[in-house]
Amino acid sequence: MRTILVSISDTEFEQFGLESENLTFPELLNIISDELLKQRLQESSILAEKFGLSRIALDEYIGLED
């Protein structure tokens, strides 16, 4: 097994909700994946609001595909 060192700021440490300075690679991947998912959801929400999709009912949206 190999060990790598990754440096992040105190702000990033808190932002990601890290509780330990020692993580396994799968733990780090999960944390990064969760953060990326949150960012994508926020971007999607902003775009949905911008284009009025946030006010469309699901059945109306599905009907748009036809």
pLDDT tens by residue, 4-29: 999 999 999 998 889 999 999 999 99
Instruction: Using CB atoms within 10 Å of the CB of residue 64, give its burial: 0 to 12 exposed, 13 to 18 middle, 19+ buried.
Output: exposed
What are the tokens at 29? 């991947």
Give the pLDDT confidence score for residue 23 in this predicted structure: 94
Looking at every residue in the chain, the average pLDDT score rounds to: 86
CB 37 within 8 A of CB 43: no
Global model pTM greater than 0.75: no
Reported as a pLDDT band with limits 50, 70 and 90, residue 45 is: confident
